C-alpha cells in the first residue's frame, strides 16, 4: 500500500471512531428479571442462574453493557415469594425468567404484559399459564418438566421394586398449588393397585422425621415425596430419613451422593 493510500485509510477510520463510540454508549441496556422460589443458599438454583448468564454471554449479551440480570430468591414461604414476585415486576424488566409452578402463579396474578419464560413447571396448560404448549398465546411461554399423570406411575414403580406393597406414605407441602392435582393422580393409581395411602402434610422440617418415623414403625410400606420448593430445600433430610427407616422411596429429585444421618 502506498503512503498516501495508507494516510487516507487511517483518516477515514479515525473519522468513524466517535460515531462508533456514540453507538456503544447509546446501546439500550435490557433488563432481565429472574424469580426462583428457593433460598439464596440453594446451590442448584445458583448454578442454574450462573449457567443462564453464561449462555446469555455466548449470544452477545454482556452483563452491564447491554443487559442487566436481576435475580430474586423467594425461599421461605408463599408470602415471601409473593413479595419477591412483586419486586421483580417493579424492576420493569424487558422479560422475566421464572422457575416452578408456585413462582409462576405469583407472577401470573400481576404481570399481564411483561414477557415471561417459565422453566420447571408441571402441566402449564392445566395450570392455565398457556392454552397450548406448542403455540402459546399472550405473554407467557416456557418449558414443562413433568406431566401430572406420570405422578401416579410412581406407585407402579414402587410396586415393582417392593413385591406385595400394600401401604404408601405420601408426604407433601400443603401450600404448593400443584399438590391437589398430583394427589388425585396418586389416589387413582392407588385404587387400581389396591394400595392404602397415608397422607402427611409437611409444614416444617420437624414434620418430616415425625411422619416418616411414625409410618415406618407400623408398616413395611414405601414413601412418595411430592416436590415443591419447600420440599426441595429439605430433600436431603427426606431421603436420609427414608434410608434410616429403610423405606423404599420415589422422589422428584436426583441425588449424586447421600449419607445416612
**pLDDT tens figures, 23-45:** 444 578 999 999 998 888 888 88
The CATH superfamily label for domain 28-146 reads Response regulator (3.40.50.2300)
Q: pLDDT value at position 6?
A: 29
**pLDDT tens figures, 163-218:** 888 999 999 999 888 888 889 999 999 999 999 999 999 999 999 999 999 999 87
**pLDDT tens figures, 71-80:** 998 876 778 8
Q: pLDDT value at position 75?
A: 77
Residue 1 has pLDDT above 60, yes or no: no
Length of the chain in terms of residues written: 261
Topology of domain 149-250, CATH: Rossmann fold (3.40.50)
Q: List the domain boundaries for the chain.
A: 28-146, 149-250
DSSP string, 25-64: HHPPPEEEEEEESS-TT-HHHHHHHHHHHHHHHHTT--BT
Please give the grid coordinates belonging to residue 47: 448454578
Q: pLDDT value at position 227?
A: 84
Q: Residue 221 in contact with residue 168, Cβ under 8 Å?
A: yes
Amino acid at each position: 500500500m502506498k503512503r498516501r493510500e495508507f494516510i487516507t485509510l487511517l483518516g477515514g477510520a479515525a473519522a468513524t471512531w466517535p460515531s462508533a463510540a456514540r453507538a456503544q454508549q447509546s446501546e439500550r441496556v435490557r433488563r432481565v428479571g429472574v424469580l426462583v422460589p428457593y433460598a439464596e443458599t440453594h446451590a442448584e438454583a445458583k448454578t442454574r442462574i450462573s449457567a443462564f448468564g453464561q449462555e446469555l454471554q455466548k449470544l452477545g449479551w454482556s452483563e452491564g453493557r447491554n443487559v442487566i440480570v436481576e435475580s430474586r430468591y423467594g425461599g421461605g414461604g408463599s408470602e415471601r415469594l409473593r413479595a419477591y414476585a412483586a419486586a421483580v415486576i417493579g424492576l420493569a424488566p424487558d422479560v422475566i425468567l421464572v422457575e416452578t409452578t408456585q413462582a409462576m402463579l405469583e407472577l401470573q396474578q400481576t404481570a399481564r404484559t411483561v414477557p415471561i419464560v417459565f422453566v420447571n413447571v408441571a402441566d402449564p396448560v392445566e395450570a392455565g399459564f398457556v392454552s397450548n404448549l406448542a403455540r402459546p398465546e399472550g405473554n407467557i411461554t416456557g418449558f414443562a418438566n413433568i406431566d401430572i399423570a406420570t405422578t401416579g406411575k410412581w406407585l407402579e414403580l414402587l410396586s415393582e421394586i417392593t413385591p406385595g406393597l400394600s401401604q404408601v406414605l405420601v408426604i407433601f407441602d400443603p401450600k404448593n398449588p400443584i399438590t391437589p392435582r398430583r394427589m388425585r393422580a396418586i389416589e387413582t393409581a392407588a385404587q387400581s393397585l389396591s394400595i392404602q395411602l397415608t397422607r402427611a402434610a409437611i409444614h416444617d422440617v420437624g414434620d418430616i422425621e415425625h411422619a416418616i418415623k411414625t409410618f415406618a414403625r407400623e408398616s413395611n410400606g414405601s414413601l412418595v415425596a411430592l416436590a415443591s420448593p419447600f420440599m426441595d430445600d429439605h430433600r436431603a433430610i427426606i431421603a436420609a430419613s427414608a434410608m434410616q427407616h429403610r423405606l423404599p422411596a420415589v422422589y422428584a429429585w436426583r441425588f449424586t451422593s447421600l449419607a445416612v444421618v
